[in-house]
Structure 1
Amino acid sequence: MVVIVYAIVSGMVLAFGGALGWKVFQLVKAPRDMPLRAVTLCLTSAACSFVLARPPFARLIDAVGGPGAPRLVQNLLVLSMAYWLMCFYLHSAAADTAAGTSRARREALLLALAAIGLTIATVAAAGYDKGASFHDSNLSDPALALFYLIANLYLVYALTMALRWTCAYARASQRPLATGLWLAAVGIGAMAASCVIRTVLTTLLWQGSTAPQAVTRASSLIITIAVPLFLIGVSYPGVVTRIAAVRLRRQHRRMYRQLGPLWELLNEAFPEHTLTRMPTKRWRDHLMPIGIHRRYYRRVIECRDGLVRISPLLAPAQEASQDQPKWADDLADQLCAALHSEQSQPASAQAVAIAMPSTPSLEDDARQLAELSAAVGRRVFAGAQQTDRESETS
């Protein structure tokens, strides 16, 4: 059981850290993005609430503010999380920034009233408050009952509003954003349901009735599951996008290397086709995510420019062998022969289409060129072996 709890806590810490770190990174690049700022503050509030509830920090807050202070701080942060979640949708749905800011300020007033109510209830219960959690608190006491009623009612309101907006955005979105929004909606709905349960339990216990202990603990379990699910939903679109970006970088890096033999052959023949570029440090060009894409596109364009330049010398043979299965091998032979002939500068001749893909796509064009490049590489390798054998013979 201890291992399971430790695994859950560790997973939540990783979820908090990953989601928050990614949003902070995005916010640094776009500090004026109000929806991004709101969701970053939402995750920051959730992370602080989780961290400050841990025993070392809770004991420190207890020593400074008394037994009820850790509970007050944690609940204020949870309320803040719900408020910033609403602000994310307010800024996203508003037609202009001023409208979203105006509505967010009105919602901030309600948050401030709830925070004042929680503070007053905590101070009122200071003489006998032991700082227990919800399912261990004496909710027959009016101050503690008022504390939980204020917190849960505000959360029900804020989470219900956020849930409505989340579902609306999820229905209007495409994957992977829609998948992430639906996951977040389930998490938000579960948190709202838990708050409704706690509101009912608080009212019953305040009136002197009894409530099954299993129901009380079930509300805590729902929260434990709902918060990580919400974080997963918020992080899911970004994670999927990053995975796709990594796959694309790997694909471009592989294609860049495959185009090497053809590019070297054409670049040696037509060095003037090398695209000019702004000077940059080589290590930075390799480390930046966009660096491999830039080099890949440059190589595809330079290969295509070289083929256009030499295409008039290849046109007759290319037309005869275009439909053959081994077109790349035949074209590679013609290309090597044309580049080493005395007529390798057909500047005034009419260019023709050489090694064109069946669809007008850059990626398909690159694959077509890569197939030709592989054939060129085999011929260059065979030529090098032949030269070595002649050297040994002589």
Structure 2
Amino acid sequence: MNSLFSPINIVAMVLFATALAWRIYQTSRAPRVLPNWAITVTIACVAGSFLAQQKVISDWLDELTGKGAGRLVNNVMLAIGACALLIVFLGSALGPRRPRRVLFELLPLAAAIVLMFIAMAVTPREARGAALSPKLVHEPGVALFYLGAGLYLIYCLIACTWWIFRYIRTADRNLRTGLKLSAAGLLCLSVGSVFRALYIVIAWAFGPSVPVLLSVAIPLVLLGIVLFLAGITYPGVRARFAALQRRRQHQRHHERLTPLWTVLADVYPNIVLRSTPRGRWDQWRPRTVHRHYYRRVIEIRDGLVQLSPYLDTDLTALAVDDPRGAAEALKTAIARQAAGEENDGRAKLVLPGGGADIESDVRPLLALSAAVSQNGA
């Protein structure tokens, strides 16, 4: 049991859980997109394969359904995961032709699984489920089992790597990083699988086994799994990190705009938008932060528009160049409004606009709010 929770296994299980949770969330948002389902199946199967090869779980499966079940589950799930990964790329690239091609890819998968069942059945009971070793490599059932599973895995991994290199050119930066990590992981898995296949072929063709091939293959497979998981997890983690940064920025900006909003809300209470009842957990949702931020920006702009007939200058532009002057101009305009001074009643442009996004329009408001806070307007 302790080996199940070794440091390496814990890291792998955390990566699996993170990747699977993220993909389930993405699939729930777009349930009709084939690649979403395929990548979710891939992660679930690779995670299941990883767990099935742990001794405590493998022994439990052997006791439950018969000797060799753990090894069979491990390799069958790995094969299904590899096929699902290939379907991810086929589903994204083939368009109308994908149903037929996807069905075609299920044929070699079915053949590989049937071959594994046959190989396990013809293997002597005492050798079933045993790891590939110099003592067992010449056993026909063992060699057939590992060679059949390995060749199918090599086919899928090489095909997936080829598709990844096609996508890298058109992917954005974050996705490109994830694809590179995934490609490196798949290449390591491919090379490790090739070494294992060579180990079997050389032993059967020439007699003696070459254990060094297995010694190299095992670390490559482990490294490949970690890199692949890191690759498919990276875009989602990066997106969540960027969203967290944006949410924190909006929280800070919301607070920094408070002095300006307070002054305008006191003069024009009608700018404060009516709140709709929300659930008690709504305040903890990320979208609530963004909603409060955008609402504050809208209310401030409405207040400045109503005050603009009393302004003699471009207030927000002045706030960037001369914050104190902007605060004084705002204070003067509010005094004129409070005194009921006559004006032409025509609203003026209070924000330059034309920014790439709302954030660029908010910058002068932040400068103006800071000036108001410092000058007590």
1:43 maps onto 2:18 in alignment: no
1:183 maps onto 2:181 in alignment: yes
Distance across 1 between alignment mates of 2:173 and 2:297: 31
Report SS of the residue matched to 2:95: coil
* TM-superposed deviation, 1:352: 2.9
1:16 maps onto 2:1 in alignment: no
CA RMSD of aligned residues (A): 2.6
* Residues 310 and 344, structure 1, Cα contact 8 Å, conserved in 2: no
Distance across 1 between alignment mates of 2:271 and 2:343: 13
> Residues 1-394 of structure 1 correspond to what in structure 2 (within 5 A)?
6-96=6-96, 99-135=97-133, 138-276=136-274, 279-281=276-278, 283-315=280-312, 318=313, 327-341=322-336, 342-343=338-339, 348-354=344-350, 356=352, 359=355, 361-380=357-376
* TM-superposed deviation, 1:286: 1.9
TM-score by length of 1: 0.87
Distance across 2 between alignment mates of 1:333 and 1:227: 63
CA pair 129-287 structure 1, distance change in 2 beyond 3 A: same
Report SS of the residue matched to 2:277: coil
Deviates more, 1:147-156 or 1:268-277: 268-277
* Residues 310 and 343, structure 2, Cα contact 8 Å, conserved in 1: no
Task: Summarize deviations over 1:288-314 as a string: whole Å, max 9, x none.
Answer: 211111111111121122112212212
| Percent of pairs with identical residues | 32
Letter in 2 for 1:120: I
Where does the alignment leave 5 or more consecutive residues of structure 1 unmatched? 384-394
CA pair 376-321 structure 1, distance change in 2 beyond 3 A: closer
Task: Summarize deviations over 1:95-126 as a string: whole Å, max 9, x none.
Answer: 23xx3222111111211111011000001003
TM-score by length of 2: 0.91
CA pair 344-28 structure 1, distance change in 2 beyond 3 A: farther
* Residues 38 and 84, structure 1, Cα contact 8 Å, conserved in 2: yes
Distance across 2 between alignment mates of 1:320 and 1:168: 52
* Residues 53 and 74, structure 1, Cα contact 8 Å, conserved in 2: yes
* TM-superposed deviation, 1:362: 1.9
CA pair 52-345 structure 1, distance change in 2 beyond 3 A: farther
